[in-house]
Structure formats: structure tokens, C-alpha cells
Amino acid sequence: MDKNPEKDKSIINHKISRRMLLGGAATAAVVLVQTSVGKMVQAAVPESLLGDINPDSTANTIISLKDHTKVPGRGPSASGKPSAFENPERIPTLTTSRTPLQDLYGTITPSALHFERHHGGIPDIDPKQYELTIHGMVDKPLFFSLADLKRFPSVTRICFIECSGNFRSGKAEMSPQEICGLTSQSEWTGVMLSTIFREVGIQPKATWFLAEGGDAAVMTRSIPVSKGMDDAMIVYAQNGEAIRPEQGYPARLLLPGYEGNTSVKWLRRIELSDAPFMTREETAKYTETVKGGKIRQFSFVMDARSVITFPTYPVQLDKGWVEIRGIAWSGRGKIAKVEVSVNGGKTWNAAELQDTILDKAHTAFRYLWNWQGGGTEIMSRAIDETGYVQPTYKELSAARESKGGYHFNSVISWLVQGNGKVFLPGGKIRGSVFLLNLLLTAKSCMSKNTPPYFTKSQDIPHCRSCTNQMRISEIGVQTGDLDVCMSKNTPPLFY
């Protein structure tokens, strides 16, 4: 392509006649051009000149678009797909794929982006061959085909599913998807498990049931009968279509508010008993340590949690009004309140919750923040209708004597740099980005021929030599690293 910028300028400087502006089919594109006084105006470009535009030009063309009013678009199709300009994706690993929470709108997760967690891969089950067995402490053991299940009265509800191991950290460049992307929300349709239980006749002494999956792992979990009679469902549809294979096609158990692995996929067997079955997934796995060296078992319910989804890494903010957005949820019921702090947790303000607030469901929240520059830390915390308040990382790790693991629902904070870049605290910024920010922080100190020497003033480190504020978010180190230097009364070394 000819890289002659003068040729591009010839289009911008070409005299735009009234006939050209009203050129009809002769107009192939519309461009935004900047006048000599800086005003942006639209100008039509005829097809004869369009081929001369150099997309790498240094001319004053801001954007060039094909005029879609002049060419018929595509026709209808058998199945729709997202725009080629939109490409949200899950992050897959060997056993999981994570929902891109930061890329979604509203609270319903598209079926194609619902998180995955598998223990033995995804089976391809022929719905005509599907069969669910219910036996044990029942009056009438029965087999149900998929058609049998669909003959019962159907129920539709919205709720979230969350993996109990939905917490990751360790580096500054992490998105909400990477931190807690193992939660998603859908509209589910199926039959109430209580309806099926009444059909088989549960015996009075039956207090537990075993749910078994038809995958290679033969995933099994013990569930209280009380949950089965409450709001448990056997679902076969998700967001208006049949459940997808990775979500348990042709039918799965759905236990609203419980940890995700209990909502057994590819459900093939339910056995009623008077005691839990103590399977691998509730003894060796899916238990967590608590204070005193004890192990907590059957911790089914997912506690209240929230996460800010904007602004987060890798966003860079501009000064002015910012709408802080996120989602909150609780396995114990409805979200009653979400609070947001924009000063590292010193003060909290109520966020606006999106109606309608549903039971055991993701709830969207928003908070308007006028950011005028300067480093700070933003965070959110959820409060559910039981009064439970989402704990800080320090509170939760002290109670569990653990830095992570199952059911780790601590407050997630985001460090906003003075330049507007957003990172996760607690991890170092990689490579040249880390070094550049480190040098920029110390630049003013070094220019005065004094070593950076930091102390704390209102929990924000300052240089003692020249009182310049040093923001933790700008150098990507943990607060504890600075505390060590301060306690020894020695300046941090830069190298």
C-alpha cells in the first residue's frame, strides 16, 4: 500500500460539495474530520476516493467506516452468534473454565460462558438412553426417563452456581475472571425434587440422599433430605434451551445456594438413607480447615460475597466520574446491602442494588465515584438478609488459619494507581511495568539527592526526606514489605 500521507490529506482537504454529501449510492463511506478550528464534522467520501485512504495515515482522519446503509446486510440464519467485534471467552484449564465476569452485562450468564468444573471430563449422553434411578429408603423404587421427568409440572427459577474453590490470587495482573470466575447465573427449568420424592414415597427415617453422576468420575455427594424437599430441582433446561453437555446434559441436580459440586451433573442415581455416605468428595475433598486445627465437613452453603467487576485489571481510568460496578450473592438468601469503599476500607458507602433482588442469586450493584487522580484502594462487601457481613481477608484467614481454600469468600480489593491503572494488591507487577513504576515513584526523591525513606501517615507511606507520597499500588509490592523496612528504620533499596 502507498504510505503517502499527502494522498490521504487530499481526501480530507477535498472540497466537499452538497452533491457529494447527498451523493446516495455514490457515497461509499463517511469519515469524521477535524476542521482548522478543531471542530469535528462528518464528511461523505465517494467510492472513487475511498481506495486512496491509508489506514496508517498521520492525517486528521479520526475514523473511517463503511456506509452500511448503501449495501444490504446478511440474511437470517439457523442459529445466531455474537458480533465479530465481541469476543468474551472463558479461561480453560484441564478441569475448569472460568466465566469472564468483567465482560458481562446484567446478571444472567450466557450459556456458552457458564463456568465449568469437571472431575472426569464431559460425557456425551444420548437423551433417548438417559435413565434416572431412585431407590433406597423409599416405598416405590422407580426409573425415570428424560421424557418421564418432563411430564411432571415444570418450574423455572434464576439462581447462581459457585464452585466452593472459587478463589485465586498471587499476582497483580489478575482479572475478576481469574480471581473468582467459577460462579455463573442462569435461568433453570425442570421439576422440583420434592415432587419426585413424593412420587417414590420417602420413608420417615430417611434423612440423607446420595446423588450420583454419570461421568467418568462417578461424582457422588451426600445431601440432606431437608434440602431436597425445600428448593432442590432436577433441571433439563438453561436460559431457554436444553442444558449444554458441559452443564450436565441431559439432566442435572440443582441445589440453589449450595457449593457447586453438590449440584451433580449428568444425574443418574439417587439413593435415600438415614446417614451420609461419606464419599471421597466430602471426606478427602471439599472440606476445609478452621481455627484450632479442626476440619469442617458438609459446609454446603456458600456465604455472602461480592466482587467489583469494573474498574479492574487491565482497565486504566480517566479522571472524573466512574461507575463502580459489580455483583453480590449469598447462598443463604437475598442480598440486603452492598457497601463500597474508595479509601482502602476507612469508610464505607451504600451501593445501589439493581431490582429485582432474587433469592440465592447474583445481584448487580453500582456506585458513582468521582476520581480525581491519586492512588487508592477500592473494595466492596456484601451483607445478606441474615445479617452476615462479608469478611476481610485478614479476618477470614485468622478464623480459618489458612490463606485460601474452599469457601474463601473474603473482600476483594483493587489498587488504583495515580495514573489510573488498576491492579490486584498482594502481587508484584511483572517485568518492565514493575521496574518503570518503581523508578517513577522514587524519581522525585532521587532528584533531591536523598534516599527514599518511607514512613506511614494515615496508612499511606510517605517519604520522610521530602514528604512525597509513595503509593503501594504504583510499585506493586505488598504492604508487609514496607512494614519490614519501616520497623528496622531503614530505607527500602531500589535495584
| Structural domains present in the chain | 5-66 (no CATH), 91-286 (3.90.420.10), 305-422 (2.60.40.650), 429-487 (no CATH)
End-to-end CA, the chain: 46
Residue 12's pLDDT is: 44
Q: For residue 429, name the pLDDT band (cuts at 50, 70, 90).
A: low
Least confident piece of the model among 25-39, 246-260, 393-407? 25-39
What pTM was computed for the model? 0.77
Rounded average pLDDT over 141-154: 98
Asked if residue 483 has pLDDT above 60, the reply is: no
Least confident piece of the model among 16-25, 169-178, 415-424, 446-455? 446-455
Rounded average pLDDT over 376-405: 94
What is the tens place of the pLDDT at every residue in 308-334?
999 999 999 999 999 999 999 999 999
Kindly list the distances between the CA atom of residue 477 and the CA atoms of 52, 378, 397, 423, 480, in Å, as whole numbers in the listed order.
Answer: 51, 17, 20, 11, 8
Residue 41's pLDDT is: 61
Question: Pairing relation of β-strands 267-273 and 132-136?
Answer: parallel
Residue 462's pLDDT is: 40
Asked if residue 478 has pLDDT above 50, the reply is: no
Q: SS3 for the chain, per residue?
A: CCCCHHHHHHHHCCCCCHHHHCCHHHEEEEEEEECCCCCEEEEEEEHHHHCCCCCCCCCCCCEEEECCCCCCCCCCCCCCCCCCCCCCCCEECCCEEECCHHHCCCCCCCHHHCCEECCCCCCCCCCCCCCEEEEECECCCEEECHHHHHHCCCEEEEEEEECCCCCCCCCCCCCHHHHHCCEEEEEEEEEEHHHHHHHHCECCCCCEEEEEECCCCCCEEEEEHHHHHHCCEEEEEECCEECCHHHCCCCEEECCCEEHHHCCCCEEEEEEECCCCCCHHHCCCCCEEECCCEEECCCCECCCEEEEEECCCCCECCCEEEEEEEEEECCCCCEEEEEEECCCCCCCEECEECCCCCCCCCEEEEEEEEECCCCEEEEEEEEECCCCECCCHHHHHHHHCCCCCCCCCCCCEEEECCCCEEECCCCCCCHHHHHHHHHHHHHHHHHCCCCCCEEEECCEEEECCCCCECCHHHHCCCHHHHHHHHHCCCCCCCC
Residue with cell 517519604: 463
Rounded average pLDDT over 418-446: 60
Peptide bond between residue 314 and the one before it cis (omega within 30 degrees of 0): yes
Asked if residue 6 has pLDDT above 80, the reply is: no
Give the residue, 131 or 492, on which the prediction is more confident.
131
Residue 8's pLDDT is: 46
Residue 163 CB contacts under 8 Å (≥ 6 apart), including other chains: 96, 115, 117, 182, 183, 259, 260, 261
Rounded average pLDDT over 250-266: 98
Q: For residue 454, name the pLDDT band (cuts at 50, 70, 90).
A: very low
Asked if residue 453 has pLDDT above 70, the reply is: no
Residue 294's pLDDT is: 87
Asked if residue 450 has pLDDT above 80, the reply is: no
User: Considering the chain, what is the average pLDDT of its residues?
Assistant: 83
CA distance 131 to 144: 6
Residue 293's pLDDT is: 83
Residue 437's pLDDT is: 43
What is the tens place of the pLDDT at every residue in 179-225?
999 999 999 999 999 999 999 999 999 999 999 999 999 999 999 99
Asked if residue 273 has pLDDT above 70, the reply is: yes
Give the residue, 259 or 40, on which the prediction is more confident.
259
Tell me the backbone φ, ψ of residue 308, rounded to 5 degrees.
Answer: -75, 130
